[in-house]
Structure 1
Amino acid sequence: MKWLWVVAFVAPTYTIPYNGTAGSTGDRGLALPNASLAHEGHYSCHHPGTGETWATVCLRLGYPPALPAVECWAISYPQAVNCSWVLVPEPLLDTDFVATYRHGVWRATEMGECVRTGPRSCSFGDVQMFSLTPYVVNVTAVNPLGAASRLLPFLLENIIKPDPPEDLRVSPIPGETKKLLLEWSPPGSWPFPEYFPLKYRIRYAREEGSVTKTIGPYEQTSYTLTGVRPGTLHHIQVAAKDFTDSGEFSAWSLPASGTPWMEP
């Protein structure tokens, strides 16, 4: 019975002797039951006498791609739609993505590439406002073990979701021991706040308190918070939404803190 040696150049390097029976798949094959990531590497098969290399193979472990979980939001309405996706579980292998969109479910009036903005994100523009025809985004994941595609249909106004407001400032008001002045700016990614205004929601809490209060929405980009506890640090955040109530509120802004004016 011939003995063969299979050498795996991994860290650490180790040698596997076998004789075509246990753990093998024939005279020149090897099976690795319960393989793990530690078994990844380059394997070579050699003649037992001369050391001649008979075959080499690179072992990579992973999965065929799962259906991509796709999300699309109009963070810069009405200029563009931004989409991103994840794979669960991660395939662990190099995986390519193709992202396209069309306007219409069956007979598309417009089709195109969703331009990649990152490894797992893309965007497209020139969208039609108030259209009752849905857009459909198609994301296909491809790796050596297979391919998987996901279609995501949506109406444009249903996916409006601004980025969080920016530059939140919390200031004391001279002479007012129970008030704070809040000021902020619309998100920089929202292109036309004068034509497509936003409304804002505010949440705040005292530093030593566990209760968070939420108020609003308000149309302006400033607000006087009243009834706060004198001499107490307050933490504030603001979220934005399309004025017509389409879509969803943004995530909360970065927090800002302030203490009401105190008598000198």
Structure 2
Amino acid sequence: MLVHFVSLLCVLSALGAQAMELHHVINTMSTAVLSAPDVHCLCSSVPNRTLCSWADPPGAAPLHYIATYSERQNQPRPCLLIPPGSPPGSPPGSPPGSPPGSPPASAQRMWHCHLPGLKLLSNIILNVTAVYPGGSSSNLSSFMIEDIVKPDPPVAVRVSSPDPRTVLVQWDPPSTWSHLDIFPLKYQIMYQWWSGGQLKSNHLKSFESLRAPVKGLAGGRTYQFQVCAKDVLGLGHCSDWSPPVNMTLPLLHP
């Protein structure tokens, strides 16, 4: 039986950050190709809440996974695996959402692994290997925490109207974000409304407080408000938007 070795080295560069993915497939079957895990990593709290996620590849699921990570020239350490079906609150943390463009979570068996004790400004190398009956397939990726920061959404978003053309939006920081005194967050507000059969939207950016007024609104109109959180230095990505909160302003009579 022929043994095929296929390797692909891909170097990506974006926004001054470098990421590397190496897919190495070892296949001892003559026709089938073993799928490598498609791994996505997010840090929901700097520096110790980094989770990497992947779905079982299509087709036959692997027998098991082996996941290790390392920093700089250190020896690899085992990643703490969180199997599919674990409650969101399971240690070491709730898993991030599915990657953009992926099927709904209900259609996937999502695996997660927790990488504790990472350091800022360090190059992290993660190796996830899917072990099949006839061989194995690995995904080797490299990243820095600063590039994958994505807080969870703000919570307890609430609105009030101090005057007929203003809405005061208030919120609380995500409970999963630690050390706000060392790593503060900034926030953005998105508000939307319907006008002439079209959905309009506007953004207010860079609030470091937990409240902000939205002024110049129209009476008699319903607005929808959402808030996202981002590292105050602009590292990584803004969180997903918080669940929408609606408010209808009173119609002003002449």
TM-score of the superposition, structure 2-length normalised?
A: 0.71
Matched residue SS, 1:210: strand
Q: 1:110 to 1:258 in 2, by over 3 A?
A: farther
Q: Which amino acid is the alignment partner of residue 37 of structure 2?
A: P
| Structure 2 counterpart of 1:100 | 68
Gaps of 5+ in 2: 1-31, 85-110
| Structure 2 counterpart of 1:185 | 172
Matched residue SS, 2:127: strand
CA contact (8 A) 1:165 1:239 kept: yes
CA contact (8 A) 1:164 1:250 kept: yes
Q: Which amino acid is the alignment partner of residue 259 of structure 1?
A: T
1:80 Cα deviation (Å)?
2.7
| Structure 1 counterpart of 2:248 | 259
Per-residue deviation, residues 62-116 of structure 1 (Å, max 9, x unmatched): x65411111111112112311101355x123453111110112xxx225311101
1:152 Cα deviation (Å)?
1.1
Q: Which amino acid is the alignment partner of residue 124 of structure 2?
A: Y
CA contact (8 A) 1:84 1:122 kept: yes
Q: 1:213 to 1:263 in 2, by over 3 A?
A: closer
C-alpha distance in structure 1 between counterparts of 2:172 and 2:250, whole Å: 23
Structure label with greater radius of gyration: 1
Larger relative contact order (Cα-Cα within 8 Å, sequence gap ≥ 6): 2
CA contact (8 A) 2:56 2:62 kept: no
C-alpha distance in structure 1 between counterparts of 2:119 and 2:40, whole Å: 19
Alignment match of 2:125 (pick from 111, 116, 136): 136
| Structure 1 counterpart of 2:219 | 230
C-alpha distance in structure 1 between counterparts of 2:62 and 2:142, whole Å: 27
- Residues 144-159 of structure 1 mapped to structure 2, 5 A cutoff: 144-159=133-148
Gaps of 5+ in 1: 1-62
Is residue 2:237 matched to residue 1:248?
Answer: yes
1:164 Cα deviation (Å)?
1.1
C-alpha distance in structure 2 between counterparts of 1:110 and 1:191, whole Å: 28
Per-residue deviation, residues 153-185 of structure 1 (Å, max 9, x unmatched): 011211111111111111122xx1100010111
C-alpha distance in structure 1 between counterparts of 2:149 and 2:75, whole Å: 20
| Structure 1 counterpart of 2:43 | 74
Alignment match of 2:80 (pick from 106, 115, 126): 115
Matched residue SS, 1:212: strand
Matched residue SS, 1:69: coil
C-alpha distance in structure 1 between counterparts of 2:200 and 2:76, whole Å: 49
- Residues 7-18 of structure 1 mapped to structure 2, 5 A cutoff: none
| Structure 2 counterpart of 1:127 | 118
* Percentage of identical aligned residues: 31
1:262 Cα deviation (Å)?
6.0
Q: Which amino acid is the alignment partner of residue 236 of structure 1?
A: F
- Residues 192-231 of structure 1 mapped to structure 2, 5 A cutoff: 192-207=179-194, 209-231=198-220
1:192 Cα deviation (Å)?
1.5
Q: 1:171 to 1:65 in 2, by over 3 A?
A: farther
CA contact (8 A) 2:62 2:130 kept: no
